[in-house]
Amino acid sequence: MIVGRQLIFFRTFKKKAKFKSFTLTANGALTRNECVLDLSGNECAAHVAGASVGDGKKFHHDDTVFITHDAVACESRQVFKKVLRNGATGVFQGKILVKEGAQKTDGYQISQSLLLDDDSQFLAKPELEIYADDVACSHGSTSGTIDEQALFYLCSRGISKNDATDMLTLAFLAEAVEEIENENIATIIVKKISAWLSRRKN
């Protein structure tokens, strides 16, 4: 059994400080990525993103993110995508806390899963707690399956069902991967996900 845990704690009082993080989780059994960020300097930005691909009932992956806005005109983004199959479990717990006085806050949070069978499950707990009145905050969480119409279209163009599923899976993960500013690193991540998918074709 492969068990892993990653903890990130970040707090800044400096104006216009920026923090960016991206995690890719594949394989393993019980894994958790936890990120706690405190934005206490005006006009700071924090972007946290992740992609995970899980196969099998032993796979249980948890992303936990807690971002506190405690200054003016700060921005935060949480973008997490999970692809699950063969009974895998994915968990997302995310919170944006906007303290009193943290006006002009811009907070965005999205967590989504793509379930490639009926046995896998995605558990999500998105939260917003806001004590300021001049903010723009949103959160959302969805769970779904492969788009059958898109799959049919690709297959009708001569693409095999497995390859079409892989293409749609990569498209689903794209929003999270796009959070990576370095194009070379983003390309490496896409190659690793593609290799993972090719090793697990039905």
Residue 1: what pLDDT? 45
pLDDT tens-digit map of 60-92: 999 999 999 999 999 999 999 999 999 999 999
Domain boundaries, the chain: 3-146
Low-confidence ranges of the chain (pLDDT < 70): 1-4, 200-202
Residue 94: what pLDDT? 95
Q: 8, 9, 50: which is closest to 26 by C-alpha?
A: 50
Q: 25, 36, 40, 30: which is closest to 4 by C-alpha?
A: 30
Handedness of CA 164, 166, 172, 176 (dihedral sign): negative
Q: What global pTM score does this model have?
A: 0.91
CA distance linking residue 57 with residue 40, whole number of Å: 41
Q: 58, 202, 85: which is closest to 145 by C-alpha?
A: 85
- 74 three-state secondary structure: coil
pLDDT tens-digit map of 144-154: 999 999 999 99
